[in-house]
Structure 1
Amino acid sequence: MNLQAKFAIDIPADIKKAIDLQGSRNIIEIPTAELGKMRSSLNDFIKILGCRITDEDIAEFQRLNRSVGVADLPKVGSIWPFHPQQMRRTFAMFGARHSLAGFSAIKQQFKHLIVRISEYYGHGAASARAEDVRLDHELIYLLKESRIDFEATMLYEFYNSDQPLAGKKGLQIVEERQDAPIIYKSWEMVRKLVKENKISYHTTLVNGCVNGHKCDMYGIINPAYCIECDGAIITVEHGNNWYKKHFSLVTYVSSLKNMSEGEFSHYIPQIRCAEKVMDGLGIKYVGYTCDREDP
Structure 2
Amino acid sequence: MLHFNDGQSEFLETASKIPIDSYWRPSPDFVICRDAQGTPSVVYGGDAWDLNPFRLKATKIRLILFNSIFDKLDAERSGLVEEVRYLLFCLLFYVRAGKLGRLSAETLNKYFSVLRMAARYCYAQKANPLIGVISLQQLFTNPAYLDGYSDWVIKNDVGETYRKGTRAMLGHIVAIGEHRLGYKLHGVFHLRFGVDDKKSNQTPVIPTRIYLGLLNSSNDWLNLLYENRHALETFLRSFESPLYGRSHKAQASLDSRISSYEPDFKQAVISHQLESVFTDDLSCSNRNNLSGAIIRIQWTLKTIIHLYTGMRDQEVMRLPYNCINDEEVSEATVDDEGVTRDDSMIVQVISTTTKFTGYRKAAAWLATDEVVRAVEVAQGICRGLSVLFHVSHDDMPLFLTPAIINYSQAKLGVSELDARNKPARLKQLELITEADFLELQASDPKRDFSLEPEFQVGSPWPFRTHQFRRSLAYYGRSSGFISLPTLRKQFKHLTTQMSRYYGNNFERLKTIFGYYDPEADDFILPKNHVLFEYQAGVPMSIAYDLLDHAFGSDSPIFGGTGTYISNQRKKLDQGDIHIVDVRKETEKLAAEGKISYKSTILGACTYSGNCEFYLLGDAGPCTTCDESIIEKDKLEAAIADDEADLALYEPGTGEYQVVKTELDRLKKFHQKFIAVVEV
Please give the TM-score of this superposition, normalised by the length of structure 1: 0.45
Larger C-alpha radius of gyration, 1 or 2?
A: 2
TM score, norm. by length of structure 2: 0.22
Higher strand share: 2
Q: Point out the structure with the larger helix share.
A: 1
By relative contact order (CA 8 Å, sep 6+), the higher-ranking structure is 1
